Amino acid sequence: MEDLKAYRIGFKGLADGLHNFEFRVSGEFFEAFELEDWQEADLLFKVVLEKKSTIMELDVVMEGLLRLPCDRCNVMMDVPMTTQENWVVKFGSQEEDGIIVLSEEEHELDMSHIFYEAAVLAAPKRVVHEEGECDPRVLEILEYRQERDKEDTDPRWDALKALKNDLKNR
Residues 133-158 have pLDDT tens digits of 888 888 888 888 877 766 667 777 77
128, 166: one domain = no
Q: How many domains does the chain have?
A: 2
Q: Per DSSP, what are the bridge partners of residue 157?
A: none
Residues 15-47 have pLDDT tens digits of 999 999 999 999 899 988 888 888 899 999 999
101, 161: one domain = no
Range of the domain at 120: 4-133
87, 109: one domain = yes
d(CA 13, CA 51): 11
125, 161: one domain = no
91, 105: one domain = yes
120, 159: one domain = no
127, 149: one domain = no
88, 125: one domain = yes
Residue 24: strand, helix, or coil: strand
